Structure 1
Amino acid sequence: MSSSSLKVHPLTSQNRAGVAQLVFDSHMKSVTPLFHFLKLRPLALLLWTAIATGIFKYRQTSLGSYLEILTVMAGAVIVAQGVLFLTLLYEASTTAPGHLGVGQLEVFGDQDRQEDGETSSSKAASAGGAKKRNVTESATTTTTPSGTKEEEETVVKGGSLAGKDNKFFVLEKSGRVIGCIGAVVDRTKNEATLTNWAVNTDDQRRGAGTHLLKTLMDAIAESSKKEKIQTVRVKLQGYQVPALRLFHKFGFVQTDRTPEWMGERVALEMSVKDWGRNLAKAKAEAQKQE
């Protein structure tokens, strides 16, 4: 896929719905890989057998009925899968700030609303001498006893904070959202955490993922001096093999990995200073392969 056929845009009120749908679909793909753990593996089989045995012992029922034991085991597996599915569905669909999936989008404001707010704030500042500020969904100002106006945190819908340093890019092809990624900047820790990585599988194989990651990392590297970002972190799900390969390709190093039964999430990080060098290496390797 030629990069010229792809367009990168900020998150706006027009493409937010498409981004939310893409993030939801991407998150729910983890249902099947997580269910693999609940198949009849040795440890899982022993666990369900122990549960069934305990139930029958409590009921003082003869353990000679293997059909009843298998029925209880099957029921336990079905219940566990149902609980897991509902948990993933809630995490993916809820808009509560901080939750996986759509909820994480709430820390990013709509760029078009911010620009409208900046324009109106600029007019107000020129007219009354007030400070210029960013505004998204709603904003308030406080007046000090001296009569000066102070800036407050920008609040987006859902009640979450939208830091002006946060970045979010949406990858579109023919007006259709095919990828997205965001970065939440924490100046207190001098780091940026990448969130909401989602790219259509077919498009990622054609280079869409590479184009999207390079766009975001270049933006982070460019503003790293101003925002004092030293480290970039990201946490991906274990089933996202193409994404893991892509991040490793550009120099991200694995720092932690949660077990499969806990969702198998892989934590990666990289120094911002290493981005330029790793990008040059990746380009050199790509040229050699050509």
Structure 2
Amino acid sequence: MASGVSILPAPQLAVLNEAYRKAVARKRLKVTIAAAVFCAALLIAVFGAEVNLRTLFTYFGNFVSYFDRILTLDSGARVWTDPLEWFWGWKKWLRMLGETLLISYVGTLAGATAAFALNFFAAQNTSPGPFLCFAIRRLLEFARTVPGIVFALIFVIAFGLGPMAGVLAIAIHTAGALGKLFAEIVENADMKPVEGIRSTGASWLSCMRFAILPQVSAGYISYALLRFEINVREASVMGFVGAGGIGQELVVAIRKFYYSDVSAILVTIIITVFIIDITTGWLRGRLFGKEARG
């Protein structure tokens, strides 16, 4: 059966069309103003940071030529033509890479443990008091706001060169980052089980243990694995200030202009990060399902 389509009278239709045109005009005006503000802020940032495009294009060739040099052996041949010469120090580099992985692992474990201990106090729905929540949140903000390499430099001055400084720097920065993420997971947890357990007279600790932890433990592990991937890269950079690991060898190669060594060490780090990324993604998939893979 055919259905009729009602047509509004011309005056009402004109009013609706006019209202629609005004709404579209307002939306376009808002988009135009937002774009203008964005462009103005971008220009202010460019001038404030003294970004000089002429300098960029003038010296861009140096950037390209550096990559050309690090892909060339001392004999003048390309690095991939003689892998044995390219990776001549692979035993030493793998040993230092292992040190980097240990720094990342221990730092991540220590930081995740601290984050686990503090996140319940930082979450608004589980913290015993607002003042304690405020204090823990500011502490975590400080830990994650200061760059890890700054912490590493401070600890190198305090404890000397070596992996100890890297472990402490990664642990503090990881505690701040994971503490924030863990607290957000807890804030999104269902509080009905907490109310049920609390009605039995259970303590605050028991409520966290039996009502909150079962809901959030999967998210904790997933974020901790992701953080480990990040910390491997962080530990490589921290070697620049003497915090141990393969980064220490990389900065020596850069400073002494051992061009082919620079590319060999970089390739070693990149391949290691790829392997870790694939492995942790597979592990998250096995533990929590395919949707947990990043």
Shorter-normalised TM-score: what interval? Answer: under 0.3
Q: Structure 1 length as normaliser, TM-score?
A: 0.23
Higher RCO (CA-CA < 8 Å; seq separation 6+): 2
Larger Rg: 2
* More helix per residue: 2
